């Protein structure tokens, strides 16, 4: 396969360095601030030292943290199962309550419809008053 310019263009570094020149203008004030405040440089050095120590002791850290991570995973699974059981129970209760409310609304609607129909039947038997203008 040949390396076509179009296929690899997104992986290539830009040939222009204009953005680097702009970065120099942006980082200039930060560098002047860092030179006046040695605590910033000391903090960066301590952070780098902590990173180096963590990298050199990564096997020991992994062996120590492994059981803790496994314990957290087991506890998390138990909590997830408990939450699933509770959610199913709540869904069942909500479904039952919904059906109960629907039946109540249906019964009340039928009662109102019966009242309306009885009033209409009673009104149909009476003669309408004459409109006098």
Assigned domain for 44 exists:
yes
Q: What is the pLDDT of residues 6-62, one digit of tens each?
A: 676 666 666 666 766 777 777 888 788 888 888 988 999 999 999 999 999 999 999
Query: Cα separation of 34 and 28, whole Å?
Result: 10
Assigned domain for 47 exists:
yes
Q: Give me the chain's average pLDDT, please.
A: 84
Task: Say if residue 84 is in the same domain as residue 118.
Answer: yes
Structural domain boundaries enclosing 27: 18-56
Task: Say if residue 77 is in the same domain as residue 112.
Answer: yes
Number of domains in the chain: 2
Query: Cα separation of 25 and 27, whole Å?
Result: 6
**Can you tell me whether residue 59 is helix, strand or coil?**
helix
Is the per-residue pLDDT at 133 higher than 90? Answer: no
Task: Say if residue 83 is in the same domain as residue 116.
Answer: yes
Q: Which of 30, 56, 82 is the last residue of a domain?
A: 56
């Amino acid at each position: 396969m040949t390396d076509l310019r179009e296929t690899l263009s997104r992986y290539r570094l830009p040939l222009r360095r204009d953005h680097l020149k702009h970065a120099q203008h942006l980082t200039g004030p930060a560098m002047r601030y860092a030179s006046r405040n040695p605590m910033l440089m000391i903090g960066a050095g301590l952070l780098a030292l902590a990173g180096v120590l963590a990298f050199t002791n990564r096997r020991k850290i992994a062996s120590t943290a492994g059981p803790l991570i496994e314990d957290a995973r087991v506890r998390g699974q138990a909590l997830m199962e408990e939450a699933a059981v509770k959610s199913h129970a709540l869904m069942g209760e909500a479904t039952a309550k919904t059906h109960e409310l629907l039946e109540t609304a249906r019964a009340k609607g039928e009662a109102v419809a019966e009242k309306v129909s009885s009033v209409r039947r009673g009104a149909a038997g009476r003669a309408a008053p004459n409109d006098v203008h």
